[in-house]
Amino acid sequence: MVDTLKIESVPISRRDSFNARDTRTRNLKPFNSGDIKILLLENVSAKAVDILKKAGYQVEFHTKALDKAELIEKIKDVHAVGIRSKTKLTEEVLSHANKLLTIGCFCIGTNQVDLNYAASRG
């Protein structure tokens, strides 16, 4: 005699399964674009600067890469940074980026960013 177990699946939407797992209430905090600081380096795009400024973001734009000391000082207060290939976002530099939410690499590849360290910071 063989014992059998009958398993029935009940379709659940992704939303329902998410809500079933997470019972915490999440309060989303909308942001004012004027509160967001963006640092764009290495002549990323003048058009991007115009678009971001018109949207109300605080944009600091540099045509060249910054030296490490200046980059460390600038990255302390920015929420987003856009770079090309000459800027190196090392663990040392990123450790000072207390408000950084995102990094944009406007080049081929991301080898100039310490991705493991960046990911560990969230």
Examine the pLDDT at 14 and tell me if it is beyond 50.
Answer: no
Indicate if the pLDDT at residue 117 is higher than 60: yes
Calculate mean pLDDT across residues 11-31: 55
Whether 25 has a pLDDT exceeding 70, the answer reads no
Residues near 64 by Cβ (< 8 Å), separated by ≥ 6? 41, 42, 43, 86
Beta bridge partners of 99: none
Q: Is the pTM of this model over 0.75?
A: no
Does 121 score more than 80 pLDDT?
A: yes
pLDDT digits (tens, 9 = 90+) for 26-59: 565 677 888 999 999 999 988 999 999 999 999 9
pLDDT at 31: 77
Q: What is the pLDDT of residues 58-98, one digit of tens each?
A: 999 999 999 999 999 999 999 999 999 999 999 999 999 99
Q: Phi first, then psi: give them for residue 94, nearest 5 degrees.
A: -65, -25
